[in-house]
Amino acid sequence: MSNLVELTAAFRRQYDRSPWFIARAPGRVNLIGEHTDYNEGFVFPAAITYDVAIAVAPRTDRRVYLASRQFRQDTWFSLNSIRKAVHRPWSNYIRGVAHILQETGHRLCGMDAVITGDVPVSSGLSSSAALEVASCLAFEAASGFRLDPVERAKLCQRAEVEFVGVKCGIMDQFISVLGRADHALFLDTRSLEYEPVPLPFSGLELVITHTNKPRGLAGSKYNERRSECEEAVAVLQQEIPGVQSLRDVTLEDLRRFRSKLSPLSYKRAHHVVSENERVLRSVQALKAGDIEHFGRLMYESHESLRDNYEVSCLELDTLVRVARSVPGVYGSRMTGAGFGGCTVSLVASDQVETFQRIVARRYLREARRRARFYVCQAAEGASIIRP
Ligand code: GLA
């Protein structure tokens, strides 16, 4: 959780007045269901106890002033002409949300804002979705309207796709808006129906481990994977009537039409189709209290992302391999888009310290980087706080 007392004090120093409210939105960890959301599949994320918080006071003009505590940078833009910023890229998530809100007919007023956050940036824990969702809430509260939560998530996703240019799915924004404390959310990204599933994790912790590897190519590789899935769909549509997306394809279909697909398309499609099945099975396992089964599915998911979807990297693979050898670890996998970022592991509470000690030592030796750990709980979605 961001330090709201510090944030309020920073706001007063910056603008010489008090904030009217604070909009906050959490990051997320995806337990399973990776690279399935833009294929209309299933995901199973939880919001986490790390967030982005924006202290806000409305203005009477059409200007939006932004000061980022994390980046130690300021910028501003006019709501009358919103352009992408080259030198303050973090502000594009906020500009993008304002742009889409206006495009969808919402009348916005200007604001003074100070932004802080403790979701590690570029880590696969959705600091950008948290920033979008917090900004959306900020514009809503400052301008005096309130969106339906699912609409808010959709709009923030559009900001990222249309303004920032990463063709992401709906998962990150959705969980940041609709997360529930002590629950993960089983989400059907086609119908947007969702079900909060209690995390019966007594005696267990979710441990996020950061590779500390910068995610250089993440954006372009992400869009490339998306096109590869579209290519596979185009081929399968010729063979199977009614296929709209990889959501409509089974493993049996893939085996039958394997020869029609290029080896690369087959691998990509195999990951997505099998990952959808794993999500369904893991939700069942969790409901039945079968943590061992859940953990095995996490490992399988990682292997599929590594071998078939090819979005893992040496650092993520090392973390998962090392975690697997530690007693009291039920499952571990990369989480988020990949190419760096974090893993998520399910660890027995009394083994968390041993886990951190062994993983840190072996990761340093084998990957020559320092791991960072975040032990976290499933948190509530975005909200407005009035100081
Ligand atoms: C990023 C995207 C999500 C999702 C994941 C991969 O976090 O923003 O929409 O596609 O990657 O599962």
| SS3 (DSSP) at 231 | helix
Q: Which residues line ligand 1 (CB under 6 A)?
A: 34-35, 37-38, 126, 168-169, 171-172, 336-337
Q: Which of these, 311, 329, 335, lies nearest to 223 by C-alpha position?
A: 311
64: left (phi over 0), alpha (psi -120 to 50) or beta: beta
**Which of helix, strand or coil describes residue 143?**
helix
Q: Write down the pLDDT at residue 2.
A: 83
3-class secondary structure, 194 = strand
Q: Give the integer Cα–Cα distance in Å for 284 and 179.
A: 20
Q: Looking at residue 123, what DSSP letter applies? A: S
Question: How much is the pLDDT for 289?
Answer: 92
Question: How many Å lie between the centroid of ligand 1 and the Cα of residue 33?
Answer: 10
The residues carrying an active-site annotation are 172
Half-sphere exposure of 349 (CA within 13 A, CB side): 7
> Which DSSP string do the residues of 91-137 spell out, in sequence order?
GHHHHHHHHHHHHTT-----EEEEEEE-SPTTSSS-HHHHHHHHHHH
Which neighbouring-strand residues pair with 47? 28
pLDDT at site 214: 75
Residues 331 and 296: beta-carbon distance below 8 Å: yes
Q: Do 30 and 179 meet the contact criterion of CB atoms below 8 Å apart? A: no
State the closest ligand 1 atom to the C-alpha of 43, by its place in the atom list counted from 1. 12
Both structure tokens of 352 = 């968390």
Contact 183, 197 (CB under 8 A): yes
Angle between helices 263-287 and 218-239 (to 10 degrees): 100
- In the reported structure, the alpha carbon of residue 345 is separated from the centroid of ligand 1 by a whole-number distance in angstroms of 18
Cα gap 319→338, rounded to integer Å: 13
State the pairing for strand pair 45-58/73-78.
Answer: unpaired
Pocket test residue of 172, 245, 310, 333 for ligand 1, highest count of atoms within 8 A of CB: 172
Residues of the chain with pLDDT below 50 are none
Pairing mode, if any, of strands 111-117 and 63-68? Answer: parallel
Q: How many CB atoms within 10 Å of residue 230?
A: 14
Name the residue of 35, 43, 171, 268 to mutate for ligand 1: max ligand atoms within 8 A of Cβ.
Answer: 171
Which two three-digit tokens encode residue 125? Answer: 């824990």
